[in-house]
Amino acid sequence: MEKVPEQCRVEDALNIITGKWKPIILLHLLQEGTQRFSELKQKMPGVTQKMLTKQLRELEEEDIIQRTIYPQVPPKVEYAMTDYGRSLEPILEAMHEWGRNHTLRKRQKQQSPTS
Amino acid sequence: MEKVPEQCRVEDALNIITGKWKPIILLHLLQEGTQRFSELKQKMPGVTQKMLTKQLRELEEEDIIQRTIYPQVPPKVEYAMTDYGRSLEPILEAMHEWGRNHTLRKRQKQQSPTS
DNA sequence: CTCCACGGTATCATAAAAGATACCACACCA
DNA sequence: TGGTGTGGTATCTTTTATGATACCGTGGAG
């Protein structure tokens, strides 16, 4: 998604949190704190090694999360939100809240499809 | 983007507002009120007829915007936010605000890349 | 030796999103 | 009769995102 001139600063946030697994990663890190790779993977059924890695790297790239490698064998890598990353929380909150009402609404529509 | 079990209600909002032109459309409709197709198109340099139509249709599908056709020739079609659509405003606000700080931050990083 | 755990990478295939381009309908106006 | 303006649709191509699959490195346990 390229940038369109003025106004649309909205895109920046959007570019960062869109990606099939990013919101989920962020929620896990926000709600449960630092996690290692394998923990995240386990909590995200369906994700591939590659995809998880990729999304994590992209978030790291943007300074949203921080990657810490422990020089051990077998390897241990932890991911944590940065302070900057935490600044996304209001957005995620707002979306979460909205989403709840949205699903309610969908249910209502199903119950009275004739209206 | 498929749904992943619980927690991630965030996705619903995300699914609705992601799309290369959707945020821009929404901002225009929110900030400037009802607009006709050609007005939007004109305000969104680079968008194709097809793309604009598609994104508008998707938003309409979700009841975020309303499409009104006036039986004239040449045709006149207006797009407006629905009340439901306006409920997205806090999210867009939050992202807009965040985006502003983000660009500030990027500027700072460019000025002191050595830190 | 051999195998395992962990967190990867590399390669290839598929799906989804976006874009370019051409065409359409129709009342009206010259 | 032909051109114009609006808001489209239909095809085809390109670009991005996602996914499947196989392989890698290391040090300790057996």
What local confidence, expressed as pLDDT, does residue B115 receive? 43
For residue A18, the domain's CATH number is 1.10.10.10
> pLDDT per residue over A80-101, tens digit each?
999 999 999 999 999 999 998 9
Q: Which residue in B20, B110, B49, B57 sits closest to A4, CA to CA?
A: B20
Nearest residue in chain B measured CA to CA from A20: B1
> pLDDT per residue over B1-50, tens digit each?
443 445 568 999 999 999 999 999 999 999 999 999 999 999 999 999 99
Q: Could you identify the residue whose CA is nearest to the C1' atom of nucleotide C16? A: B1
**B93: pLDDT strictly greater than 60:** yes
Contacts of A87 in chain B (CB under 8 A): 98, 101
Distance in angstroms: CA A38, C1' C9: 17
Is B13 within 8 Å of A102 when comparing Cβ atoms?
A: yes
Q: Domain limits at A54?
A: 5-111
Q: How far is A8 from chain B (nearest CA, A)?
A: 6
* pTM (2 d.p.): 0.90
Q: Could you identify the residue whose CA is nearest to the C1' atom of nucleotide D20? A: A48
Q: Are B56 and B44 in contact (CB under 8 A)?
A: no
- The C-alpha angle with vertex B97 and arms to B94 and B103, in degrees rounded to 5, equals 135
Distance in angstroms: CA A96, C1' D27: 44
**A113: pLDDT strictly greater than 50:** yes
Beta-bridge mates of residue B35: B79
What local confidence, expressed as pLDDT, does residue B114 receive? 52
Q: What residues have CB less than 8 Å from B74, skipping those under 6 apart?
A: none
| Between B65 and A110, residue with greater pLDDT | B65
**Counted domains in chain B:** 1
Is A99 within 8 Å of B5 when comparing Cβ atoms?
A: no
Neighbours of B22 (CB within 10 A): 19
**A114: pLDDT strictly greater than 60:** no
What local confidence, expressed as pLDDT, does residue A25 receive? 98
**A5: pLDDT strictly greater than 70:** no
Q: What residues have CB less than 8 Å from A82, skipping those under 6 apart?
A: A63, A64, A65, A66
Alpha-carbon span A20 to A94, nearest angstrom:
19
Instruction: Band the pLDDT of A7: cuts 50, 70, 90.
Output: low
Q: What are the φ/ψ torsions at residue A65 (nearest 5 degrees)?
A: -130, 165
Residue A104 in contact with partner chain B when CB distance is under 8 A:
no
**To probe the interface with A, which of B2, B3, B6, B9 has the most A CB atoms within 10 Å?**
B9
Helix or strand holding residue A80 (H, E)? strand A76-81
